[in-house]
Chain A
């Protein structure tokens, strides 16, 4: 049995997925990203191997992705997170044609083909207003655990408007809402709605198709899913572990790459054996 690994080193967390050659997930892991990326990549891979019950020597290929993708010395290939989430999303939801990926520091909208290839993409600017970091800041100010944000936002009865395009100014708006006595759940839903409308603009620029799949760490927040669905006016696909889709995509591409290399090798070997037989064959042809 052949095994491959995909490691997604994101701004906030690092994820690993191990696949077998039947494209079945055999193990996964998830840890916080900290300094010393090589050590973090090693740790997350060890955990995933443990989870899969295999050894590192059983792995035939390792692909890395995410902003730390170059910092993994034991990788075989590095691929961008945009390409990986496209592949992962279409694998999980084959009719996906638009993917929205909201992580800690970046938001990406992709239009993809039926094979998961990226046809067009748009990303947020350097500022964190359209990404998960913005929610983190809001939660911190409101003294809410980030794990509770999604649930609380879902309970909103009167979502507040957060209109500013700047994370710092948006924080002032949040302070105003708190001063006005608005409930935390309404403010959080306002934050989610704000992200939803920015995401819609990004998806429209990349190409908003019928079936949308939402991935990345922020897709774990139920309130954000609701806000997005309200904004795009349709149901969106969200997997059980949307934050793992990048690592899954990396593992799928690792397997595809390995298969291609093996196929090339077989072709090359066939070429060599054909070459060996050539003189005899051509000699026969010449005789006739």
Chain B
């Protein structure tokens, strides 16, 4: 069953990439969502998204303070511990101050691995910033060409764009099954399918997604009748125990605008015209992390997802010490409140399961339902 396959892959997310490396294929670790993976793919390498780990951080504590956040700290921990030794390189953008610091730290403490930096402007609007952004993307392309000794031909780029766009279309189709009434896919399967995509080749992921969509066709996800449909928003959700916890509290995920979810796959690359420029435009226009994309565009994406799923409430999962997302929350909360949609803020450090989280989610579900046993 494809669901079992996703779970098997996620049990050891780096195993496949180790295997690729043993087979002589070059793997580039992407440390955030501004890395144009199509360039890496077209250069004959495999982009692998690194999403940190939930274990203790000890080695990285010497270089990054606690307030850099668990994601950046645990990625550096993985690097220092040698978990990522099989990667040919890592690519970083300045999507946040902490992630940007990883570029310097990698160069200093893991110099045997090539680190690429994409200097993304502070906010993605305005002509000047667009020029800077475009040049940063082109520089990254040039660096990849020097690194591989190959020129990125238009034909290869078009093939990569087609593979990635198919992946995005399949993921969007999966999102529509999740939001259907009744849902045609369980929330747990949805999350596993998305997370698996970060550690599979896009071709492998597309195959599994097609199988999943085919097996879900015409089916209704079990036992969702009495569950309250919720939307989950935030930069990252990798804790697979969270959705079962939400289910135990009487609710389920109906839609999301996660950095590791729809924000990652919602926007496609235009397949007409120059492929390099199309890729640049896609990453310029994509809905993404707080403080890079103008606020109103992010709000519209959030609102569209909620309206699509008819979610009765929103849970914001925000990484502790992530100032960018913490600043957003009061604005989103007030706007949602004015539309009669309640929201809950949960602090995460990649891990969400605890009795405190369970009590908060259960109380929130009780509020959404209008009482403890409505």
Residues of A bordering B, CB below 8 Å: 67, 77, 79-83, 106, 117-121, 123, 125-126, 253, 257, 260
Query: Residue of B at shortest CB range from A81?
Result: B359
Q: A119 with B356: in contact, given A83-B372, A253-B372, A260-B373 (CB under 8 Å)?
A: no
Q: Within residues 346 to 374 of chain B, which ones have a CB less than 8 A from any CB in chain A?
A: 347, 354-356, 359-360, 362-363, 366-367, 370-373
In the assembled complex, the Cα of A67 lies from the Cα of B357 at a distance in Å of 11
In the assembled complex, the Cα of A253 lies from the Cα of B366 at a distance in Å of 13
Query: Which residues of B sit under 8 angstroms from A82, Cβ to Cβ?
Result: 359-360, 363
Query: Which residues of B sit under 8 angstroms from A81, Cβ to Cβ?
Result: 359
In the assembled complex, the Cα of A83 lies from the Cα of B354 at a distance in Å of 18
Q: A117 with B356: in contact, given A82-B363, A83-B363 (CB under 8 Å)?
A: no
In the assembled complex, the Cα of A83 lies from the Cα of B360 at a distance in Å of 10
Residues of B bordering A, CB below 8 Å: 347, 354-356, 359-360, 362-363, 366-367, 370-373
Once the chains bind, are A121 and B363 in contact (CB under 8 Å)? yes
Query: Which residues of A sit under 8 angstroms from B359, Cβ to Cβ?
Result: 67, 80-82, 123
In the assembled complex, the Cα of A126 lies from the Cα of B362 at a distance in Å of 17
In the assembled complex, the Cα of A81 lies from the Cα of B201 at a distance in Å of 46
Once the chains bind, are B362 and A80 in contact (CB under 8 Å)? yes
Query: Which residues of A sit under 8 angstroms from B366, Cβ to Cβ?
Result: 79-80, 83, 118
Query: Which residues of B sit under 8 angstroms from A118, Cβ to Cβ?
Result: 363, 366-367
Partner of A123, one of B360, B362, B370, B373: B360
Query: Residue of B at shortest CB range from A11?
Result: B355
In the assembled complex, the Cα of A257 lies from the Cα of B373 at a distance in Å of 7
Partner of B356, one of A79, A121, A123, A260: A123
Query: Which residues of B sit under 8 angstroms from A125, Cβ to Cβ?
Result: 347
Q: Is the interface of A mostly helix, strand, loop or mixed?
A: mixed
Query: Which residues of A sit under 8 angstroms from B355, Cβ to Cβ?
Result: 67
Q: List 20 A-B contacts (CB under 8 A).
A: A67-B355, A67-B359, A79-B366, A80-B362, A80-B363, A80-B366, A82-B363, A83-B366, A106-B356, A117-B367, A117-B370, A117-B371, A118-B366, A120-B367, A121-B363, A121-B367, A123-B356, A125-B347, A253-B372, A257-B373
In the assembled complex, the Cα of A67 lies from the Cα of B354 at a distance in Å of 10
In the assembled complex, the Cα of A126 lies from the Cα of B347 at a distance in Å of 10
Question: How close is B249's CB to chain A, nearest CB, in angstroms?
Answer: 9
Query: Which residues of B sit under 8 angstroms from A119, Cβ to Cβ?
Result: 367
Query: Which residues of A sit under 8 angstroms from B356, Cβ to Cβ?
Result: 106, 123, 126
Question: How close is A205's CB to chain B, nearest CB, in angstroms?
Answer: 9
Query: Residue of A at shortest CB range from B366?
Result: A83
Question: How close is B346's CB to chain A, nearest CB, in angstroms?
Answer: 10
In the assembled complex, the Cα of A126 lies from the Cα of B352 at a distance in Å of 12
Partner of B354, one of A77, A80, A126, A257: A126
Partner of B372, one of A67, A79, A106, A120: A79
Query: Which residues of A sit under 8 angstroms from B354, Cβ to Cβ?
Result: 126
Query: Residue of B at shortest CB range from A253?
Result: B372
In the assembled complex, the Cα of A284 lies from the Cα of B371 at a distance in Å of 44
Query: Which residues of A sit under 8 angstroms from B373, Cβ to Cβ?
Result: 77, 253, 257, 260
Query: Residue of A at shortest CB range from B349?
Result: A126
Query: Which residues of A sit under 8 angstroms from B347, Cβ to Cβ?
Result: 125
Question: How close is B360's CB to chain A, nearest CB, in angstroms?
Answer: 6
Question: How close is B233's CB to chain A, nearest CB, in angstroms?
Answer: 18
Question: How close is A8's CB to chain B, nearest CB, in angstroms?
Answer: 13
Query: Residue of B at shortest CB range from A82?
Result: B363
In the assembled complex, the Cα of A80 lies from the Cα of B371 at a distance in Å of 11
Query: Residue of A at shortest CB range from B248?
Result: A70
In the assembled complex, the Cα of A83 lies from the Cα of B365 at a distance in Å of 11
In the assembled complex, the Cα of A123 lies from the Cα of B363 at a distance in Å of 11
In the assembled complex, the Cα of A109 lies from the Cα of B113 at a distance in Å of 49
In the assembled complex, the Cα of A125 lies from the Cα of B349 at a distance in Å of 12
Query: Which residues of A sit under 8 angstroms from B370, Cβ to Cβ?
Result: 117
In the assembled complex, the Cα of A83 lies from the Cα of B363 at a distance in Å of 7
Query: Which residues of A sit under 8 angstroms from B360, Cβ to Cβ?
Result: 82, 121, 123
Question: How close is A242's CB to chain B, nearest CB, in angstroms?
Answer: 19
Question: How close is B339's CB to chain A, nearest CB, in angstroms?
Answer: 16
In the assembled complex, the Cα of A231 lies from the Cα of B362 at a distance in Å of 30
Query: Residue of B at shortest CB range from A77?
Result: B373
Query: Which residues of B sit under 8 angstroms from A79, Cβ to Cβ?
Result: 366, 372
Question: How close is B83's CB to chain A, nearest CB, in angstroms?
Answer: 27
